[in-house]
Amino acid sequence: MKAINAIRMGGVDVLPLVEGGKGVAVSNGATAGAWAAAGGVGTFSAVNADSYDAQGEIIRQTYSGKTRRERHEELVEYGIKGGIAQAIEARERGGPNARIHANILWEMGGAERVIRGILDGAKGMVNGITCGAGMPYRLADIAREYGVHYYPIVSSGRAFSALWKRSYSKARELLGGVVYEDPWLAGGHNGLSNSEDPRKPESPFPRVLALRNQMREFGLGDTPIIMAGGVWWLEEWEDWIDNADLGPIAFQFGTRPLLTQESPISDAWKKRLITLQPGDVSLQNFSPTGFYSSAVHNEFLGELEARSERQIAYSSEAVGDHTAEYLVGPRRRPVWVTPHDNARAQSWEKAGFTETLRTPDNTLVFETPEAAREIIDDQVACMGCLSHCRFSNWTQNGPDYTNGKRADPRSFCIQKTLQDVAHDGSLERNLMFAGHNAYRFTSDPFYSNGFVPSVKQLVERILTGR
């Protein structure tokens, strides 16, 4: 394997190994500090991060506000306090010279307020902001205001070009790097565009080369690109290392740090990782963000798939093929469906899926009474964890704080499930994000006999190869 040398990133020399930020309470101060102490760039998630009480116990996020707006304010407060707590721990574990980044999702509720609150409350502890899930134009303004570097996450040169021309060119000196997150390989939310087919993966090399060529047009030939998604053994990427066409490259590891001693996920989750097989991680479009995302296929995703299959189109009038009357809801209001769909609806009802829920697309989905009640309860309990939510129809923008569409029962409350799985909840009944290479835990001899490395051991293994 080629020698892995330090590169210049964010104004300092670091190993080109970056910890990927992972969602709610998974990448935390412990993992980030340990990764940075090993010589790379540690990243804690600033998305609804955990905070602690006086005894050091995690404060579970509960909400007492009577309205969504009131609960949203509670969520923002939780997010700021949690982010500060994780920044402090990362700095304490990593040391004064560690490179610590905070990862935020631009589409999370109150994203700008949360990251500003963290940077105010943990002054000098955060060296960089990594940000994706949307088009974070204001990221450069925040970086300039607080004197930190910024690392936008993109999945194409075209996306970066739009960000650069509109905003980033005004804060050139603080652009520490650009994260290319492969939309077919990375875990979590993926940046597939409308022109890309989720079923037809494209090779990352030409896409990253196109990004580099676009960056060179802007005078950014020496700004590192961080490859995220599908990275396991660095010898598999030797043609990327010291490649003059690609320029400086770093590699982001998101899935592998899950299986470390410092990782806060449950032992059951860690054991599940070393049983995964090829194909167990799937790309699906149920997220309330509207983005595709990659997660371990389990009962939770299976039920979402089945729910969408139990779906028929309806019309408020008898028109075209919609000639069969169907009565909806407790008031038995009539809608019209096709005779074929009417027969399907009758079969679902006989199977116990007796509740109908309307979607924004003039369709009906069929669920059991218990599942329908849970969906409605979750929609009512919305705390505004996203800037826009298709599941609950929340938007953080006034005056009415709704997206103007019917709440979509084909999606789910992402805050509820990610909080639960991160705090020892059911692995089958919750969303488990993972990259598509997660199945390699099973065949990698490094993890034989159930071995769980420390972060330091993992980084050493990455640097020395197989």
Amino acid letter, 347? S
- Which regions of the chain carry the CATH code 3.20.20.70? 7-283+438-464
- Residue 191 pLDDT > 80, yes or no? no
- Residue 192 pLDDT > 80, yes or no? no
pLDDT of 329 reads 84
Q: Mean pLDDT over residues 127-145, rounded? A: 90
Superfamily of domain 7-283+438-464: Aldolase class I (3.20.20.70)
Say if CB 257 and CB 20 are below 8 A apart. Answer: yes
pLDDT of 87 reads 97
Would you state the structure tokens that stand for residue 45, as one six-digit string?
């998630």
Q: Rounded to an integer, what distance in angstroms lies between the CA atom of residue 394 and that of residue 118?
A: 24
pLDDT of 273 reads 95
Q: Mean pLDDT over residues 143-168, rounded? A: 94
409 phi/psi in degrees, rounded to 5: -75, -5
pLDDT of 459 reads 96
Helices 204-217 and 157-166, axial angle in degrees (round to 10): 20
Residues sharing a CB contact under 8 Å with residue 345, sequence separation 6 or more, in sequence order: 312, 326, 337, 364, 366
pLDDT of 112 reads 95
Amino acid letter, 444? D
Q: Mean pLDDT over residues 322-332, rounded? A: 90
The 10s digit of each residue's pLDDT in 345-381 is 999 999 999 999 999 999 999 999 999 999 999 999 9
Percentage of the chain exceeding pLDDT 70 = 100
- Residue 340 pLDDT > 90, yes or no? yes
Q: Mean pLDDT over residues 256-277, rounded? A: 96
165-169, 209-213, 215-219, range with the lowest pLDDT:
165-169
Residue among 291, 257, 290, 280 nearest 155 (CA) = 291
- Residue 90 pLDDT > 90, yes or no? yes
pLDDT of 3 reads 80
Query: Which residue do the tokens 């929340």 mark?
Result: 394
76 pLDDT tier (thresholds 50, 70, 90) = very high
3-state secondary structure string across the chain: CCCCCCEEECCEEECCEEECCCCCCCCCHHHHHHHHHCCCEEEEECCCCCCECCCCCECCCCCCCCCHHHHHHHHHHHHHHHHHHHHHHHHHHHCCCCEEEEEEECCECCHHHHHHHHHHHCCCCCCEEEEECCCCCCHHHHHHHHCCEEEEEECCHHHHHHHHHHCHHHHHHHECCEEEECCCCCCEEECCCCCCCCCCCCCHHHHHHHHHHHHHHCCCCCCCEEEECCCCCHHHHCCCCCCCCCCCEEEEECCHHHCCCCCCCCHHHHHHHCCCCCCCEEEECCCCCCCEEEEECCHHHHHHHHHHHCEEECECCCECCECEEEEECCCCEEEEECHHHHHHHHHHHHCCCCEEEECCCCEEEEECHHHHHHHHHHHHCCCCCECECCCCCEECCCCCCECCCCCCCCCCCHHHHHHHHHCCCCCCCCCCECCCCCCHHHHCHHHHHHCCCCHHHHHHHHHHCC
Q: Rounded to an integer, what distance in angstroms lies between the CA atom of residue 184 and that of residue 191?
A: 9
pLDDT of 465 reads 84
Q: Rounded to an integer, what distance in angstroms lies between the CA atom of residue 114 and that of residue 272?
A: 32
Q: Rounded to an integer, what distance in angstroms lies between the CA atom of residue 238 and that of residue 72?
A: 46
Q: Mean pLDDT over residues 40-62, rounded? A: 94
Q: Mean pLDDT over residues 190-199, rounded? A: 79
CA distances from 355 to 251, 331, 332, 389, 390 (A): 48, 12, 12, 23, 20
Percentage of the chain exceeding pLDDT 90 = 88
Upper half-sphere CA count for residue 88 (Cβ side, 13 Å): 14
